[in-house]
Amino acid sequence: MDDRYVSVAEPLLGDEERDNIEHVLDTGRFLQGPFVEEFEDKWADFVGTEHAIAVSNGTTALQLCLNALGLEPGDEVIVPSLTFGSTATAVVHQACVPVFADIDRELYTLDHTDLERCLTDRTEAIIPVHLYGHPAEMDEIRAFADEHGLAVVEDAAQAHGAKYKGAQVGSIGDVGCFSFYATKNITTGEGGIITTDDDELAESLRLLRSHGMANRDEHIALGYNYRMSELNAAIGSPQVDRLTEFNRRRAEISERLFTELGDLEWLRPATVRDYVDHAYFWAPFEIDTDRIGMTGKEVWEALKQRGVETRHRYTMPLYEQPVFKQHCGFNSDFPWSANENDHQYDISLPNVEEVAGNTIGLPNHPGLDEEDVDYVVEVVRNFEP
Ligand SMILES: Cc1ncc(COP(=O)(O)O)c(C=O)c1O
């Protein structure tokens, strides 16, 4: 074995991204302008929605959607318990209450059979997350939402280009949110975008992202500054052109890892439904901690020492995070208060408890060559505690 170090994520930037940045610097036009517009047009085309509204990041995308959908303080939003924190903190920033649902034991995405338990007369929306790049079970989620008059906000931060039964994620719910943080399938440095077919919602989102200003003089809504800058869009626009090729390579590497490591007793490739196109943000595997005799974190550390960086998230159910544990969403004066006597988030959900801390993502980004992948296979195959 050589002594290489295989990274788990790297942005792949080319000449066009550099030239565009230089152009922004030369012109001095940083404020949302032609590059943002070009980026939005390309993304709407790619996802197949009428509108794409670029914003400062994936978290502000989520928050802006809840606002534009008209959610009121105290309204409840059902979120999965295994996801990045901001799927739920965005809900709280909107003065709404996140209600944590369990995850599907095989797919790790929102368990639609747990939705009924989470439903109250304050429920207004569901945020399914296409975790690790695998679409959530959208037919069932959509049907439940329609039955109960709930909005569906897709959190597609990790799923650029993933498809569910032929439909691009971000085009299935009322609205879709993406993140272009540096480790994602494509990047803008920092950035996000919202997709929707709803003209009125799009108009409202555009207004809210820029101070709620209808014109130079008037603030007609309580808006934010959640705009994307030209610098970010200058990087993002050529990245959109390369996404399909990036994803093809991600899938090729991930499927090779699944095949060549699929027989290990302690490491199980994640399930991929035959009706989805996985975006392979991760090449996800589940660790059998009893068989290997190590915790997920110990495996992650040991592989790193052997030159294979992996992703290792999420290590705890979201309802266990201190920020949620120490606050309460119900029966208080305000939907979000530090009420020590209320134990709203003192819950335990079986699937997420079993999975949290035990998933890792092996390196699969398009910057890897075949020798890198050979090395990953060799290290993982020969791995012992
Ligand atoms: C599932 C999920 N939702 C939301 C976000 C938030 O995106 P951002 O980091 O761009 O704010 C992320 C980011 O990593 C994410 O993975």
The predicted-structure confidence for 340-355, as pLDDT tens digits, reads as follows 555 567 789 999 999 9
CB 291 within 8 A of CB 265: yes
Residue 383 is predicted with a pLDDT of 96
Q: Distance between CA atoms of 361 and 60, rounded to whole angstroms?
A: 26
Distance 234 CA to ligand 1 centre (A): 21
Atom of ligand 1 nearest to the CA of 179: 10
* Residues spanned by the domain of 228: 15-239
Q: What is the model's pLDDT at position 337? A: 60
Question: What pLDDT score does 63 carry?
Answer: 97
* Per-residue pLDDT, 342: 53
Pocket lining for ligand 1, CB < 6 angstroms: 57-59, 83-84, 86-87, 129, 155, 157-158, 179, 181, 192
Closest residue by Cα to atom 5, ligand 1, is: 58
DSSP output for 179-234: E-BTTSSS--BS-EEEEES-HHHHHHHHHHHBTTBSSSS-B-S---B-PPPHHHHH
Q: What CA–CA distance (Å, rounded) separates 377 from 380?
A: 5
The 10 Å CB-count burial string (b at 16+, else e) for 269-289 is bbebeeebbbbbbbbbbbbeb
Q: Does residue 9 lie within any of the structural domains? A: no
Q: Is residue 180 part of a domain?
A: yes
- CA dist 177 to 170, 171, 325, Å? 7, 10, 26
Residue 34 pLDDT greater than 80, yes or no: yes
% of the chain surpassing 90 pLDDT: 89
The per-residue pLDDT for 56 is: 98
Distance between Cα 58 and ligand 1 center (Å): 5
Distances (CA, A) of 209 to 198, 283, 375: 16, 34, 45
Q: Which amino acid makes up residue 221?
A: A
Is 304 domain-assigned?
no
Q: Could you read off the pLDDT of 63-85 as tens digits, one per residue? A: 999 999 999 988 999 999 999 99
Decide if 88 is inside a domain.
yes
Torsion angles phi and psi, residue 211, rounded to 5: 65, 10
Cβ-contact 111, 82 below 8 angstroms = no
Which atom of ligand 1 lies closest to the CA of 192?
10
Rounded Cα distance between 69 and 123, Å, is: 13
User: Ligand 1 pocket: which of 8, 59, 235 to mutate (most atoms <8 Å of CB)?
Assistant: 59
Q: Decide: 115 and 80 in contact? Cβ < 8 Å.
A: no
Is 285 domain-assigned?
A: no
Q: Is residue 22 part of a domain?
A: yes
Distance CA 300, CA 358 (A): 10
Q: Is residue 311 part of a domain?
A: no
Name which of 14, 368, 17 is nearest 191 in CA terms. 17
Q: Is position 5 within any domain?
A: no
> What's the rounded mean pLDDT across residues 171-200?
98
Q: Mean pLDDT across the chain, nearest whole number? A: 94
Q: How far is the CA of 179 from the centre of ligand 1 (A)?
A: 6
Domains in the chain, number: 1
Exposed, middle or buried by CB within 10 Å (0-12, 13-18, 19+), for 265? Answer: exposed
Q: Could you tell me the distance, in angstroms and rounded to a whole number, from the CA of residue 318 to the centre of ligand 1?
A: 14
Residues 6+ apart with CB under 8 A from 347: 100, 319
Identify the burial level of 333 via C-beta atoms within 10 angstroms of its C-beta, where 0-12 means exposed, 13-18 middle and 19 or more buried: exposed
What percent of the chain is modeled with pLDDT above 70?
95
Q: Which atom of ligand 1 is nearest to the CA of 158?
A: 16
For position 283, what pLDDT does the model report? 98
- Domain of 206, CATH number, reads 3.40.640.10
Read off the tokens for 265: 């007793």
Mean pLDDT value of segment 195-208 = 98
pLDDT band at 258 (very low <50, low <70, confident <90, very high): very high
